[in-house]
Amino acid sequence: MQQIIVLGAGYGGLMTALQLEEKVRNLKDVNIILVDRNDFHQYIHLSYEIVTGVKKADDITIPMKELLEKRKIQFLQATVEGIDLVHKTVKISGGDLWYTKLVIALGSEPTFFNIKGAENAYCVCSVESAVKIKNKLKELGGPEQNVKVIVGGGGFTGVELAGEIADEMKCCVTIIEGSNMLLPTWGIPEFSSKVTEVLEEMGAKIELNKRVAEIKSDTVVLNDGAQMDCSIFIWTGGVQASRVVFESGLKTGKGKRAVINEYCEALDFPGVYVVGDCALVVDPETKEIMPQCIEIALQQADSVSKSLIADLTDGKREVFIPKFSGLILAVGERYGIGKVAGVKVEGKLALMVKKVIHLHYVYKIAGITEALECGMLKS
């Protein structure tokens, strides 16, 4: 009996399970178990739109029951607490599960780099956390109440969030960024300057070369000692792999992500695959670390599902080669910028392309009906 456990029903885990099931449906003695703390899949990259009420939680989640209808996948709603790689068991809330093959796709979680008062920070890392920010903003009021929003971190998530709040709620939003430009890891200074200009036109303030030292309930202290009044502080300045990954004893690298081989297997643990944001994916040619994004998670899911079939049927596995075609950033509801397959897109066109890419993900995850419905009603 082969028992394949997939941890996490985000982009990486869910797609691995779905693609695997299609291929092993007719094989006897193969059991697929998918575990997630939520009984829904979330289109997590749209969670910043929940914050301002542009989207509702229902618009960006889809029940597992619907997704797994007629599938030979057992779904367990439980929290993964740990993995015993030696005894091949997973500890979940409510008991232990044994496996013959394991896929770890638990995504990432915020990291605060020992900033004091982290418990006072909000994060936008899931639908639930976005709803918490929305409720807090509602309670605080708006510009008339002099609400001051501070976003810690001027990367992709921080910029999308700040843009959305500045555009939709007209509140005073300040981004604190440690480096000398917004979006430093994107590595395209032209885009950083343009985004800075657009955000400032929307009324947002940008503090570069500054770091957050302490977060208090109504103040943020910077590394130069300056204090800023703050109604709500939202941290987007750093993520690391799910703690289950680095606490399990797997070899990890940048961002505590699991080091993987050319088949996406964890080093020293054959049959344990790591997919999505918690894997350290490296381009085999350039040796560059690939960004944590949906495109790479889906490519890994495709490759790992094929490798699992090869494992089950004594076939030959294919080497995984990541291909990153680009990202599009939304700054509020009217401006976007990015590159797709090397081509620059900007303005409303960029937002339309972003929407089409999202519909493509919905189609891959949930099928054509959901994608059409989403295109017409929800996006």
Residues making contact with ligand FAD (CB under 6 A): 8-13, 35-38, 44-45, 47-48, 79-80, 105-107, 124-125, 157, 242, 244, 276-277, 292-295, 297, 327
Residue number with the smallest Cβ distance to ligand FAD: 10
Residue 212 or 275: the one with the smaller Cβ distance to ligand FAD is: 275
**Residue length of the chain:** 379
Residue 157 or 307: the one with the smaller Cβ distance to ligand FAD is: 157
Least separation, in Å, of the C-beta of 95 and ligand FAD?
A: 14
Residue 186 or 269: the one with the smaller Cβ distance to ligand FAD is: 186
The one-character DSSP state at 68 is T
Residue 164 or 221: the one with the smaller Cβ distance to ligand FAD is: 164
Helices and strands per DSSP (H, E), number in the chain: 10, 25
Contact 6, 13 (CB under 8 A): yes
The one-character DSSP state at 182 is S
Residue 27 or 343: the one with the smaller Cβ distance to ligand FAD is: 343
- Dihedral class, residue 107 (left if φ above 0, else alpha if ψ from -120 to 50, else beta): left
Least separation, in Å, of the C-beta of 145 and ligand FAD?
A: 26
Give the position of tokens 């910043």: 48
Least separation, in Å, of the C-beta of 225 and ligand FAD?
A: 31
Least separation, in Å, of the C-beta of 93 and ligand FAD?
A: 8
Least separation, in Å, of the C-beta of 63 and ligand FAD?
A: 13
Contact 320, 308 (CB under 8 A): no
Task: Give the separation between CA 59 and CA 255, rounded to whole angstroms.
Answer: 30
Least separation, in Å, of the C-beta of 160 and ligand FAD?
A: 6
**DSSP codes of every residue in 7-57:** E--SHHHHHHHHHHHHHHTT-TTEEEEEEESSSEEE-GGGTHHHHTTSS-G
Residue 59 or 214: the one with the smaller Cβ distance to ligand FAD is: 59
Amino acid letter, residue 61: T
Residue 258 CB burial class (10 angstroms; 0-12, 13-18, ≥19): buried
Residue 120 or 129: the one with the smaller Cβ distance to ligand FAD is: 129
Task: Give the separation between CA 22 and CA 130, rounded to whole angstroms.
Answer: 33
Least separation, in Å, of the C-beta of 280 and ligand FAD?
A: 12
